[in-house]
Amino acid sequence: MSGYIGRIPVRNIWLLMLYASDLYRTHGRRMAGVEESVDRVADLVAEILIPAVRHRMRYRLGSTYKRKTANLSRIRGKIDHIRTARQQLLTRGLVACGFFDLDVDRPRNRFVRSALEKLSPLVTKESLRHDCRNLVNALRMLGVVGPCPTKAELSADRLARHDVADREMLDAAKLVMDLVLPTEQAGDRLLPMPYREETWVRLLFERAVGGFYRVALSPGEWQVSTGTKLNWAISSSSAGARALIPQMKTDIILESVLSTRRIIIDTKFNEIAVQGHYRERTFRSEYLYQIYAYLMSQTGRGDPLADSAAGLLLHPSIGETIDEAIKVQGHVIRFATVDLAADAVSIRQRLLELIDEWPL
């Protein structure tokens, strides 16, 4: 696996996608040491996806009822009298029927088959490549022959309670489809680069950091929450003010049960420092105000962890490491970067250092 997305190695984009995936949340502990061989991410996903698909095929592949029409020699469902008379089917001993029948060619199964097709050239082991091709052929023989579904079609095929067994298979398939990324190497197709989509990469970085800490930190010592809404300590307001006050929603909150620490992490995907009016470089003021509001709005409300909480503004960087901190009104605010051009082991170590080694 080679190439770059912007200035970030593709292997590190793969690493972020792995950390951000639902598959890593459920199987991350099985992937211990993946940072030492990021090139094998596709193999690790294949080793989960292939058995999951085989299991579903062995115990009835998920199907749905689909309306069908056919000319039959015996009545099934409802008779289409007009078509039967128009085509004079009775003279041939046939009846036009409309009925519902179980069909495995549903969006989720087509999505999994497409993921196996995409996964085959990505894996490094010939045995896994062989298994992928065999499963694709087996699914086609069962009737999963339609094209890869759109996002809208896949989201409409929702998992019900009795479809829980499909979740692992779909989580792995979704990660496979994410791993199929364009690079900036020469080719015969022109595609937009994902790193230029600011929202895409920002959400990826945020989800990756949260997903990493969920798996890497001991659940007996740390509690990890993402997308937590904070309430303003409003004592009184005018009639329409509460409906207009913006919500505060944090990216990641880490709470240590043993050391009674709370760290509020706000992830960004741009340079941590910019050129100032009177200085060569300065931290972004709007981000500092934001993390300050997260911290100070929760103090003095009977929560000891909130009274001593720390804030971390975490940015990616390329070939640069910044780690500075200030203490404001009893709260430490840290400005730090993660070098996404470094090797995967260094990225993991850096994320852990940001929690273990706290300044001031």
Residue 68: left (phi > 0), alpha (psi -120 to 50), or beta?
Answer: beta
Could you give the count of Cα atoms lying within 13 Å of 297 in the half-sphere of its Cβ?
18
Q: Which two tokens stand for residue 296?
A: 């100070």
Do residues 163 and 185 both lie within one domain?
Answer: yes
Rounded to the nearest 5°, which phi and psi values hold at 197? Answer: -85, 95
In terms of residues, how long is the chain?
A: 360
Do residues 55 and 139 both lie within one domain?
Answer: yes
* Cβ proximity of 307 and 315 under 8 Å: no
Per-residue pLDDT of 271-294, as tens digits, reads 898 887 777 889 999 999 999 999
- Separation of first and last alpha carbons in the chain: 41
Q: What pLDDT is stored for residue 278 in this prediction? A: 74
Q: Is it the case that residue 86 has pLDDT exceeding 80?
A: yes
Do residues 80 and 219 both lie within one domain?
Answer: no
Do residues 291 and 341 both lie within one domain?
Answer: yes
Per-residue pLDDT of 28-39, as tens digits, reads 888 888 888 888
- As a whole number of Å, the CA-based R_g of the chain is 27
Calpha distance 98→195 (Å, rounded): 50
> For residues 123 and 100, which has the higher predicted lDDT (pLDDT)?
123
| Res. 66 pLDDT band, cuts 50 70 90 | confident
| Res. 63 pLDDT band, cuts 50 70 90 | low
Q: Which range marks the domain in which residue 214 is found? A: 197-234+246-356
Do residues 12 and 158 both lie within one domain?
Answer: yes
Residue 139: CB atoms within 10 Å:
23
Percent with pLDDT over 90 in the chain:
56
| DSSP sequence for 81-109 | HHHHHHTT-GGGT-EEEEEEEEES--HHH
Residue 128 lies inside a defined structural domain of this protein:
yes
Here the CATH number for the domain that contains residue 345 is: 3.40.1350
Helix 41-58 vs helix 126-142: crossing angle, to nearest 10: 30
Predicted TM-score (pTM) of this structure: 0.79
Do residues 122 and 33 both lie within one domain?
Answer: yes
Per-residue pLDDT of 184-201, as tens digits, reads 444 444 444 444 455 677
> For residues 10 and 334, which has the higher predicted lDDT (pLDDT)?
334
Q: What pLDDT is stored for residue 197 in this prediction? A: 52
Name residue 261's beta-bridge partners: 256
Per-residue pLDDT of 142-171, as tens digits, reads 889 999 999 898 988 887 776 777 888 999
Do residues 299 and 157 both lie within one domain?
Answer: no
Which residue type does 123 have? V
Q: What pLDDT is stored for residue 315 in this prediction? A: 94
Least confident residue range of 9-13, 130-134, 219-223:
9-13
Q: Mean pLDDT over residues 221-240, rounded?
A: 92
Do residues 211 and 261 both lie within one domain?
Answer: yes
Do residues 288 and 343 both lie within one domain?
Answer: yes
Q: What pLDDT is stored for residue 181 in this prediction? A: 60
Percent with pLDDT over 70 in the chain:
92
Q: Is it the case that residue 297 has pLDDT exceeding 60?
A: yes
Q: Mean pLDDT over residues 324-332, rounded?
A: 95
Q: What is the rounded (10 degree) CA torsion for 137, 138, 140, 144?
A: -140
Q: What pLDDT is stored for residue 1 in this prediction? A: 54
Q: What pLDDT is stored for residue 357 in this prediction? A: 82
The 3-class SS string of 275-289 reads CCCCCCCEECHHHHH
| DSSP sequence for 255-319 | EETTTTEEEEEEE-SS-SEE--SSSS-EE-HHHHHHHHHHHHTTTTSS-HHHHT-EEEEEEEESS
Number of structural domains, the chain? 3
Per-residue pLDDT of 246-262, as tens digits, reads 999 999 999 998 888 99
Q: What pLDDT is stored for residue 32 in this prediction? A: 80
Which residue type does 196 have? R
Q: What pLDDT is stored for residue 189 in this prediction? A: 42
Q: What pLDDT is stored for residue 200 in this prediction? A: 74
Residue 241 lies inside a defined structural domain of this protein:
no
Q: What pLDDT is stored for residue 2 in this prediction? A: 59
Tell me the average pLDDT of the chain: 87
Per-residue pLDDT of 87-119, as tens digits, reads 999 999 999 998 877 778 889 999 999 999 999
Residue 239 lies inside a defined structural domain of this protein:
no
